[in-house]
Structure 1
Amino acid sequence: MRNLSDISGGNRKWRRESMTGFCRVGAQALKVALLVGVAAWPLELLAQTASVAVQPGTSAQTVASVSGTAEDAEPADIVVTGFRRSLQLANEQKRSADVVSDGISAEDIGKFPDQNLAESLQRITGVQITRSRGEGSSVSIRGLAPDFARTQYNGRTLGSGGSRSFDFTALSAEFVSAVEVAKSPTADMIEGGLAGTINVKTAHPLDIGKTSFNGTVEGVYEDNSKKLSPRVAGLANYVNASKTFGVNVGVAYEQRKYLAVSYEGYGAETGVEAQRNPPIDYNRDGDFGDTYTFNHAQAYQAFPGTRKRLSVVAAAQYKPTDDINVFADYFHSDFRDKGLWYENATRFTNIAPALPGRPYGVTASTIDTSLVPQLVSGSQGFITSMTATGLDHRASTFSQDSRKILNSYAAGFDITDGDMKVSGQASYFKSTTDSLNNGFATISRGVGTIAHPDGLGSPPQVTYGAGYDPLDPSTFFLLSQDFFGGRNSDRNYEGRLDAEYTIGDGFLKSLKAGLYYGDRQNTSVDVRSSANAATLARLSGGKLALVPNVEGASGAVNAGAILKPVSFDTKIPYYPGSYLVTDLNAYYGIIPYSTVIGAVPPQVVSGSGYDVGEQTMAAYVQAGFGSADGRLGGNLGVRYVTTQTVSNGLVPDLDGIIIEPGGVFTTVPTGVPTKVKGDYDYFLPSFNLKYELANDLIVRGALARVIGRPGLGSLSAGTSVNANVRSINSGNPALQPYLSDQADLSLEYYLPKQGLLSAAVFYKHLTNYIINGQVTQTLTAQLRGGGTQTLVFRRNQPLNLASADIKGAEIAAQIPLAYIGDAFDGFGMFGSFTYIDAPEVPQFEGGPNAPLNGVSKYNYNVGGYFEKYGLGLRGSYTYRSEYSSGDGNFFGDGSFVPAYGQLDASLSYQLTPAVSLSADVTNLLDALQKTENNFGLARIQSQIGRRITAGVHLRF
């Protein structure tokens, strides 16, 4: 691998380039302007046909509709509620913003449009989401991976461990008043949001303005599991009579009993026949000199589990005068995901005799040589079907338990003295994620065939023959019980001080300056232990008898007494009607959980963890300007940021690794402690301009230089090893941040009755793009129980090696159909479309070009609603085209998510002014989520099912 100091020095060239990249954006902006001009013409034409011309000085809320007269215009005091109100608030927020932005607003406290914030955000132009167990979990902006989107909570940093992205499953939507997505930065914004900044807002007590209580009681029904779970929330707000002091406290609890059913292929492994253990003649030509690629394993899985989330918010606010505002708030989230992982797997990477002298080997195979150009260099073809004797067949159960606890505290003030306003805020958050899982290496050897009747893009069909019964528990042996998990701790201290001076009525409106300090520490450790068959036989008191020489010298215990059949109803092709898994109740009836974990307590895995510290200081100046008539406005500023990192880790002796025969876990010897420092500093200029071309027609432009910091785990000084998939992964503390010189241009037409038409184009020139440096390394591993095995590993280390230009366009519309006529009053449509043009870059050094991670070329959402007479109906369909997930997987053959669309719907009824009823359906069409590799081999197909939430909302 290359020297880290060389990488660090090479990435210092920005000092010499100075502002060259930023100026380049100005030239690109001319192209952008031309594009938006083309887009603007049909928008303006559509606007003119949709509404009457708005005269100067006339409010958009009082203009007459096309079908009526001035007497039919909306009165100024008309009350808009429900989803229409949330659209209206979002439009007002977008219109008044100083930057290119979008947002979602709640109609009232506890009435955010969706239960999951990420699900709401996907309706914003240019925003895409990924899901975990059917819930929106991470957010991408303009196609860039979630790590490029900075998430804030009331303006301060919010993290959820390890990655720069935020896991939205930890955050309840019950208390959120608005979510803003800023796509162009200003100098006063905390840096790091290369794709954009997401700011989650909750209402302070005096913002609510009255003593009140809002509560929700709902049931959550999972279609796959057929289980009903509770979802309750309440927020109490107190404001004194003089409205100078207020406090509020909110508590929300949600439970989901889900069932996810899936197929997983582990990726295209390339193996040399002679290097298999024992050697395998894949093409049956009588020698062991060939090299072929095949699916490492195919597994049919089910994940029954329960998610519980407790959220608590609290805030206090004191405002004795309009010029003094002092506040404090607290956010707590306790998210637990606990369940089982049933797996029926066949592993063609492991074909061997169960006992010495038993037959094994490939008896038939079909090889596709047309895929050779897409395979790893040296491979002679992909094995599309194979029949084998001595096939590794697993009947496994894994017990999974993870818990994420997040606490965030903040206190601040705003003081205005004449034309001077000073604001300050100090905050702290800590997120801790603990997990401890255990599983069983339960194996049988038989005769099996894998084939792809529907092509490589579909899950394979696995059949058995020659008298082998996959449902006969007596043929299975337990090799070991393995414990694995770890802890990730992410904490951050943050403080900022801002001062703004309002100048007056001239062109220069204001001057603003500020300081920022952040101190973040992220630590991660993996823990693991394993009880082999001899240990399990001893702990069972003879109830599980050790059978010597099964699957190697360590032996195994017969698993017949601890297996049970399971079956699941699913749409996934070739999913087995039933299969065997480990029966945990039966097993722990023989060996209690406390007994086995007490015998082999999990230990920290040497070299796998990391400890990364990051200290950031920043200062900025920013000028606000505008014309006397208020039609022109904007800001110009520069932010200077300096960052220092310290990475601590362990570098192990890789010649001492130990692997389990037939197992999937690797033991790495204790490593040598190491500490590596890094640093970088940048000037980040920004320019935002807004101009009102005509009443309710606004054009915006923005130029900026933005950074996106590497993932905290990527800065690790440690090394981890996985012998099962032949990979060695090292961090790189000398990584520099991604750098983007970017331009934005947008046009917005605000129509009456909460209508909106908008178009935007954007351009990003990315440098310092991080990809994996990759080399091969041969190691001799020790086999637990005796013997050695020579293995060829793929060694990975992240490096700043690439650059990329990303261009795109967005259009959005909100159209109340009252424009057509009074008969359509209450009906409306909304939608957006995003096109992203991104280059291909290699996923590893020297590898073939692949699409930029996370970028879908086409993204759109479309929906409609009806709200009148207290009744609300809404449906929305979101779609994103294929994208690379950024996971090159274990064997470097890519990981791509095919196009996916999902339909959601909701129904509500205002029973009384204080009581409303609601029902929501997520994934109405029961769409499957899929992943495949770079030549179309199915890697994942997952069925999460529909989720129905219904209940009552109370407001007093």
Structure 2
Amino acid sequence: MIGLGSVVARTLKAALYVGVAAWPMNVLAQAAPVAPQAEPGVAPGADAAEPADIVVTGFRRSLQLANEQKRNADVVSDGISAEDIGKFPDQNLAESLQRITGVQITRSRGEGSSVSIRGLAPDFARTQYNGRTLGSGGSRSFDFTSLSAEFVSAVEVAKSPTADMIEGGLAGTINVRTARPLDIGKSSFNGTVEGVYEDNPDKLSPRVAGLANYANASKTFGINVGVAYEQRKYLAVSYEGYGAETGVEARRNPPIDYNRDGDFGDTYTFNHAQAYQAFPGTRKRLSIVGALQYKPADNINVFADYFHSDFRDTGRWYENATRFTNIAPALPGQPYGVTASTIDTSLVPQLLSGSQGFVTSMTATGLDHRASTFSQDSRKILNSYAAGFDITDGAMKVSGQASYFNSTTNSLNNGFATISRGVGTITHPDGLGSPPKVTYGAGYDPLDPSTFFLLSQDFFGGRNSDRNYEGRLDAEYTFDAGFLKSLKAGLYYGDRRNTAVDTRSSANAATLARLSGGKLVFAPNVEGASGAVRATNILKPISFDTKIPYYPASYLVTDLDAYYGIIPYSTVIGAVPPQDVSGSGYDVGERTMAVYAQAGFGSTDGRLGGNFGVRYVDTQTVSSGLVPDLNGLIIEPGGVFTTVPTGVPTQVKGDYRYLLPSFNVKYEVASDVVVRGALARVLGRPGLGSLSAGTGVNANVRSINSGNPALAPYLSDQADLSLEYYLPKQGLLSAAIFYKHLTNYIINGQVTQTLTAQLRGGGTQTLEFRRNQPLNLESANIKGAELAAQLPLSYLGGAFDGFGVFGSFTYIDAPQIPQFQGGPSAPLNGVSKYNYNAGGYFEKYGIGIRGNYTYRSTFSSGDANYFGDGTFVPAYGQIDASVSYQLTPAISLSADVTNLLDALQKTENGFGLTRINSQIGRRITAGVHFRF
């Protein structure tokens, strides 16, 4: 970790990484601040008070372009534009989007990953790339960590639809645009070389990008190619609570008397496990873009483009965990059980039905203590292709586009069930909203490797393939005069298929002892009939400096280097090759046909304008999967993986048809004041995984999960009204209100089912499962208001020239609904009541400085988690900052700091029990951008 005072030094260190010393000395010697350039025909030194006399650059230029885009739009929308190719305001598109009014983001390993619009979950936001569907491993949402910002010219967020827009964006549609060769209009090269410094691991990594563009002299043909590569070495240090499990004392294996009253008939809720974790990892992203454009005549435009992303995330996951749910003797006859406990009965109304209280502290003998290491390796490859044309003949314009994308995600991880039994005490000194304190006693040493045993090595991962064929044809006729301005009609066809499957395998202790050639000693009676091997020579202590309360000073984890020195990785995976898990996968096909008609209208003076239309959508689905016989479950004692017997193939078809009308209008009250209104019915499709016909089981957390191919789409009848005041010098004030009536809202249907599972080493165990299946059970009304401002402070006088402030505020009023059938009401998934961002900038004399604070109040993540107690993200705020300097007209320097104050990220359950408390640290990016 570093203090705030060290940020400048670290920034300089990152800048040195890019090889500034290698620049030509004559460039450095002649460097001078770049004065604002006069427009052609305007004398230098003309009155700066007139905006037309200044060529605006930098962040102010991106604000100006976004304002122009917003003002000219036919719908309620916002956006962010790049000042120039390769100069998008942020390195991460999601982090740029969070500055837009009504947009919120979630983060993965400190990077913006998914985007919500007006509080609705990311699956309700449709993401497009140059107007076509962009997939992300089967999810309706898009993972923005796969997309480099280097080649993006603008991102548009349409909050109200038109009939010609592809349906599916119930919350809104995000369109990522890249510049075509003839839009750039000249032969050029833009490049960036940067160093990325991560605070937590104290590591520096490269980030480079370049885009070459060619346009012939007649501007009839152009081609461009861009390549970007980024590497991040991160370290996430965290506490994780697995959720509030409710269990009957007699159904523990063996039974556990939690309240020490002498019987096993009580039912209590407790934290399934408390784990202190560290995730050192590396992310690598390669992005490639390419485009062709041909304009043989002014009225003909033919284009094609390509986008490729290769994103890989590798690392190790170290975990020190204790589990309330598994208190037992390590060897037959040894003592075990609860020796002291406190139970909070005041939480009973908030707990699952039947619970008599929550176990807030406990001392136990035979407490399950884990010293685990997991290796993780996932890779997502995305390819997207498109070709199209625009032909104009007088008042008629015909456009067509065909596209294809394919996204594949593969992961293969492995972990070790390494366990010890001892005397441990778990308390919550700071309340349930903070991580617990775990201490050990009665002579038990948590750092003594001789007390640990390895039960198994488990492999787990999966494959996901998502592909889509898409085509559209549009025709528009424009009228020269009259109130009717245009008529537009078109056809759309989409064919999407998503397949997924989980893979698993497990090598038990006896297998590992055999593969080790006797170097791992097998103990047949430890931890049940399956036995274990001594882990003495395959453990090591580790330690991390962190702000997380009660994080242990050091703890043992599996030493993978030592372990694979005994049993090579190829040997063990060759002995137990991963197999597809029966019932876990799905195969969902979705075909959509749509037709629309739309009319544009406007007054002769241009002050009134808008459009109205209707879209007809016909969608057919086919879901295939496996339904296993759940009476044949096999579980590993003390382990966390479940073997499911081969299932019976099943296939289910579904279809739905809807008319989606829309109406948009805008009116210029004055030359600088615009009022907008919109009415529409909007459709949002269920997640592709939710349409699965298969069934998956997890015996560790007692859950059975099935899809539902018969799900209907979400529908929203909505209205928007906004007022926009465009000030001189890129200023803007705006306000909006919106309303959405959602129907067919999907929540989990949930019932209890008791099954008897076979233990891998022999015997059986009776377990009570929760069976989950998504159902269309709810409706909801969402109301909200938005305010936004962009204010250059030059209004206050010349001393403030170059300074400006910007910000937005969103209020969302949404009802509480159950997260599962029959459960307590909880806030609508993804909705934060209060969202705002505020920032300021200075740009003058070639210097640019910008800071931004974003805030999002508490929201439900939509994950009911393993035990149905909900997952909520508490209020979170983060400060990001950047500084840049225009060294020459062709070279600029920049440095950006993400999460300047090292804010922690947290989640909790429905009654405030901490689920996750994570520290990812600051990220500093510094380097040079050049163009010629």
TM over 0.5: yes
Q: Which amino acid aligns with 1:675?
A: Q
Distance across 1 between alignment mates of 2:502 and 2:870: 26
1:144 is matched with which residue? Answer: 120
Distance across 1 between alignment mates of 2:709 and 2:913: 35
1:372 paired residue among 340, 348, 367 = 348
Cα RMSD after superposing both structures: 0.9
Gaps of 5+ in 1: 1-60, 63-69
1:667 is matched with which residue? Answer: 643
1:271 positional shift: 1.0
1:621 is matched with which residue? Answer: 597
1:320 positional shift: 1.6
1:427/1:72 Cα in 2 relative to 1: closer, same or farther (>3 Å)?
closer
1:76 positional shift: 2.2
Q: Which amino acid aligns with 1:837?
A: D
In the alignment, is residue 531 of structure 1 matched against residue 512 of structure 2? no
1:54 is matched with which residue? Answer: none
| Contact 2:686 2:714 (8 Å CA) reproduced | yes
Give a deviation string over 1:873-911, Cα, whole Å, max 9, x none: 000000000000001111111110000000000000000
Q: Which amino acid aligns with 1:528?
A: R
Give a deviation string over 1:105-162, Cα, whole Å, max 9, x none: 0000000000000000000000000000000000000000000000000000001112
In the alignment, is residue 129 of structure 1 matched against residue 105 of structure 2? yes
- Counterpart mapping for 1:694-709 below 5 A: 694-709=670-685
2:444 is matched with which residue? Answer: 468
2:793 is matched with which residue? Answer: 817
Distance across 2 between alignment mates of 1:431 and 1:698: 41
Runs of 4+ in structure 1 off by over 4 angstroms are none
1:84 paired residue among 55, 60, 81 = 60
Distance across 1 between alignment mates of 2:393 and 2:67: 31
1:843 is matched with which residue? Answer: 819
1:381 is matched with which residue? Answer: 357
2:884 paired residue among 908, 912, 921 = 908
Give a deviation string over 1:160-206, Cα, whole Å, max 9, x none: 11210000000000000000000000000000000000000000000
Q: Which amino acid aligns with 1:323?
A: N
1:678 is matched with which residue? Answer: 654
1:75/1:277 Cα in 2 relative to 1: closer, same or farther (>3 Å)?
closer
| Contact 2:51 2:729 (8 Å CA) reproduced | no
Distance across 2 between alignment mates of 1:418 and 1:270: 71
Distance across 2 between alignment mates of 1:732 and 1:161: 19
1:612 paired residue among 580, 588, 594 = 588
Give a deviation string over 1:385-435, Cα, whole Å, max 9, x none: 000000000000000000000000000000000000000000000000000
1:898 is matched with which residue? Answer: 874
Give a deviation string over 1:32-78, Cα, whole Å, max 9, x none: xxxxxxxxxxxxxxxxxxxxxxxxxxxxx99xxxxxxx966325252
Distance across 2 between alignment mates of 1:300 and 1:323: 63
1:951 paired residue among 922, 927, 931 = 927
| Secondary structure class of the residue paired with 1:935 | coil
Distance across 1 between alignment mates of 2:468 and 2:53: 45
Distance across 2 between alignment mates of 1:74 and 1:650: 69
Distance across 2 between alignment mates of 1:832 and 1:189: 27
Q: Which amino acid aligns with 1:482?
A: D
In the alignment, is residue 859 of structure 1 matched against residue 827 of structure 2? no
2:139 is matched with which residue? Answer: 163
Higher mean C-alpha displacement, 330-339 vs 546-555: 546-555
Gaps of 5+ in 2: 1-38, 41-45
Q: Which amino acid aligns with 2:720?
A: D
1:237 positional shift: 0.1
1:449 is matched with which residue? Answer: 425
| Contact 2:47 2:53 (8 Å CA) reproduced | no
2:617 is matched with which residue? Answer: 641
Distance across 1 between alignment mates of 2:186 and 2:608: 37
| Secondary structure class of the residue paired with 1:76 | helix
- Counterpart mapping for 1:547-566 below 5 A: 547-566=523-542
2:321 is matched with which residue? Answer: 345
Q: Which amino acid aligns with 2:80?
A: I
Distance across 2 between alignment mates of 1:317 and 1:100: 30
Distance across 2 between alignment mates of 1:702 and 1:481: 57
Higher mean C-alpha displacement, 320-329 vs 247-256: 320-329
2:155 is matched with which residue? Answer: 179
| Secondary structure class of the residue paired with 2:52 | coil
In the alignment, is residue 927 of structure 1 matched against residue 906 of structure 2? no
| Secondary structure class of the residue paired with 1:724 | coil
1:677 positional shift: 0.2
Q: Which amino acid aligns with 1:685?
A: P
| Secondary structure class of the residue paired with 1:818 | helix
1:212 is matched with which residue? Answer: 188
Q: Which amino acid aligns with 1:186?
A: T
1:438 is matched with which residue? Answer: 414
2:5 is matched with which residue? Answer: none
Q: Which amino acid aligns with 1:666?
A: T
2:36 is matched with which residue? Answer: none
In the alignment, is residue 798 of structure 1 matched against residue 774 of structure 2? yes
| Secondary structure class of the residue paired with 1:282 | coil
Give a deviation string over 1:329-379, Cα, whole Å, max 9, x none: 000000000000000000110000000000000000001110011111111
Distance across 2 between alignment mates of 1:389 and 1:362: 6
1:321/1:77 Cα in 2 relative to 1: closer, same or farther (>3 Å)?
farther
Q: State the number of aligned residues.
A: 889
Q: Which amino acid aligns with 1:891?
A: F
Distance across 1 between alignment mates of 2:629 and 2:139: 27
In the alignment, is residue 514 of structure 1 matched against residue 499 of structure 2? no
1:654 paired residue among 630, 635, 639 = 630
1:779 paired residue among 729, 736, 755 = 755
In the alignment, is residue 936 of structure 1 matched against residue 912 of structure 2? yes
2:561 paired residue among 575, 578, 585 = 585
Q: Which amino acid aligns with 1:361?
A: G
Question: Normalization by structure 2: what TM-score?
Answer: 0.95
1:290 positional shift: 0.7
In the alignment, is residue 324 of structure 1 matched against residue 300 of structure 2? yes
Give a deviation string over 1:675-722, Cα, whole Å, max 9, x none: 000000000000000000011100000000000000000000000000
Give a deviation string over 1:813-864, Cα, whole Å, max 9, x none: 0000000000000000000000000000100111111100000000000000
1:241 is matched with which residue? Answer: 217
Distance across 2 between alignment mates of 1:322 and 1:660: 70
Distance across 1 between alignment mates of 2:906 and 2:501: 30
| Secondary structure class of the residue paired with 2:572 | helix
Distance across 2 between alignment mates of 1:502 and 1:226: 60
Distance across 1 between alignment mates of 2:147 and 2:275: 32
* Percentage of pairs with the same residue: 89
1:559 positional shift: 0.2
Give a deviation string over 1:237-273, Cα, whole Å, max 9, x none: 0000111100000000000000000000000001111
